Amino acid sequence: MSTTKDIKRITVQALAEMKERGEKITVLTAYDFSMARILDECGIEIILVGDSAANVVAGHKTTLPITLDQMIYHAAAVVRGVQRAMVAVDLPFGSYQSDEAEAVRSAVRVMKETGANAVKLEGGVEVAGSIKRIVNAGIPVMGHLGLMPQSINKYGTYGVRAKAEAEAEALLFNAQCLYEAGCFALVLEKIPSELAANVKEKLPIPLIGIGAGAADGQVLVVNDMLGITQDFKPRFLRRYADLHAVISSAVTRYISDVKNDKFPSEEEQY
């Protein structure tokens, strides 16, 4: 039986086939060429150029300040580092909410100016029309439901979403709307695992979870899972390294060597 290891380029069709045969889909964020190249060489299926760049790259408290131009800058750098993975790019807050025409223009700009393979946007039935138009323009769209960081001012909290029956029913309805609008995959963020399993059973497209239990795949912010960020500790996050400590140690030794005239050595000079 073939697996994604045999595939030279990850496409929408390849992801659909992964779901069909029960092979899990791996997703991580990246915001620059060097990290994207490492993730791609490791065999990740999807690299998400997330609007989380606003947090982990620019230091903002929310994802809201990042602009479309900034997302395009990061996405173009990521694409240059990728040979195999699908590159999906978040449409940032304010680039698609006002009307369908703006949403299409934003998505087209991302595809033309970065070379990415897909876009991702947040929302349910209220953005279904925009998704249809973007898909009709030939652009694959990944949806996003549950906790939607671009709507943090409406929620007032980053807590678990859809615990109440009414919100859970609304999420199921919105998931169906996104599927019917043409989404090739759907991110479910910070919702009860039982609800995510229900969505997974009802929809034929891949579901990518983050704090949503055992979906068809998982996504994490790369800076979080590598331990570069230290003050973000949600229940769903597993740290696979402590690069904060590794980098701090290396920089401290560098400072010491320079100040004590141990670097550069004779062998490190021309």
Catalytic residues, by residue number, are: 189
Q: What are phi and psi of 175, to 5 degrees?
A: -60, -45
Which contiguous run of DSSP H or E holds residue 223? helix 222-225
Which tokens belong to 167?
């919100």
Gap between the Cα atoms of 84 and 9, Å rounded: 4
Rounded alpha-carbon distances, angstroms, from residue 202 to 102, 103, 196, 212: 31, 27, 10, 16
- Identify each DSSP E strand in the chain by its residue range: 25-29, 46-49, 86-90, 118-120, 141-146, 185-189, 207-210, 217-220
Contact residues for 244 (Cβ-Cβ < 8 A; gap 6+): 227, 228, 229, 230
Query: Whose structure tokens read 């800058």?
Result: 73
Q: What are phi and psi of 15, to 5 degrees?
A: -70, -40
Query: Whose structure tokens read 């997302």?
Result: 71
